[in-house]
Amino acid sequence: MTDSQLIREIKDGNVQIYNELMRRYERKILAFIFHMLKNTQMEAIAEDLCNETFYKAYRSLHSFREIEASFSTWLYTIARNTVLSELRKNKSVQVSLEQSGLTPHASFDAMPEQAMLRNEKVTMVREAINSLPEKQRSALILREYDQMDYQEIANILGQTVSSVKSLLFRARASVKLQLDPYFSEPIFEESKG
């Protein structure tokens, strides 16, 4: 069954099949919410916010119109708004990735050098993404992690496609600028004498 068929069935009173819609999108929505909460030390509530998203979607399903957006776009919009609402409630919560306990910890003995370098690079990329303004961060996550097209991102963020492209350009440029010193090849000069 397609999303449209499931939604029609649910609107016609077969509410039990809403679980099928949840099953289809739960992992993606949870991952999206988790990424949005990454630098706030609020990752523990990602699952609660995911459940709240699906609850809000269920309660508003009667107002969903496929003509305006796909179900997934509509659902991501609800998830984004739910997270932003929660972040506004807890505005004082600003914690770095290191403080959140999400960085990998290992001694030099326990982990090969390559794995440590890879983890360090992943941490730097996360920090760079987390430092972006909210709309740039959301656009980048939706495009790079969730592989959404520009139109879907525009619908979720309430922007035009050209605005999304601009947000992504600025986000990528900012991340590149932050990471260039770490990923460019160092030039070593031989010491004289």
Q: Is the pLDDT of residue 100 over 50?
A: no
Q: Mean pLDDT, the chain, as a whole number?
A: 79
Tell me the pLDDT band of 68, cut-offs 50, 70 and 90: confident
Tell me the pLDDT band of 112, cut-offs 50, 70 and 90: low
Give me the phi and psi of 191, to 5 degrees please: -75, 140
What average pLDDT score do residues 127-153 get?
Answer: 87
Burial of 182 (0-12, 13-18, 19+ CB in 10 A): exposed
| pTM strictly above 0.75 | no
Could you please report the per-residue DSSP string of 71-103? Answer: HHHHHHHHHHHHHHHHHHHTTT----HHHHT-S
Tell me the pLDDT band of 113, cut-offs 50, 70 and 90: low
Taking the C-alpha atoms of residue 33 and residue 36, their distance in angstroms, rounded to an integer, is 5
Task: Pick the range with the lowest mean pLDDT from 59-63, 76-80, 101-105, 182-186.
Answer: 101-105
Q: For position 38, what pLDDT does the model report?
A: 76
Tell me the pLDDT band of 131, cut-offs 50, 70 and 90: confident
Q: For position 184, what pLDDT does the model report?
A: 61
Q: For position 50, what pLDDT does the model report?
A: 92
Give me the phi and psi of 190, to 5 degrees please: -75, 140
CB 53 within 8 A of CB 84: no
Q: For position 115, what pLDDT does the model report?
A: 62
pLDDT tens per residue across span 38-67 = 767 777 888 999 999 999 999 998 888 877
Which has the higher per-residue pLDDT, 76 or 130? Answer: 76
Q: For position 170, what pLDDT does the model report?
A: 92
Q: Is the pLDDT of residue 22 over 80?
A: yes
Task: Pick the range with the lowest mean pLDDT from 11-20, 110-119, 146-155, 179-188.
Answer: 110-119
Residue 189 DSSP code: P
Q: For position 24, what pLDDT does the model report?
A: 92
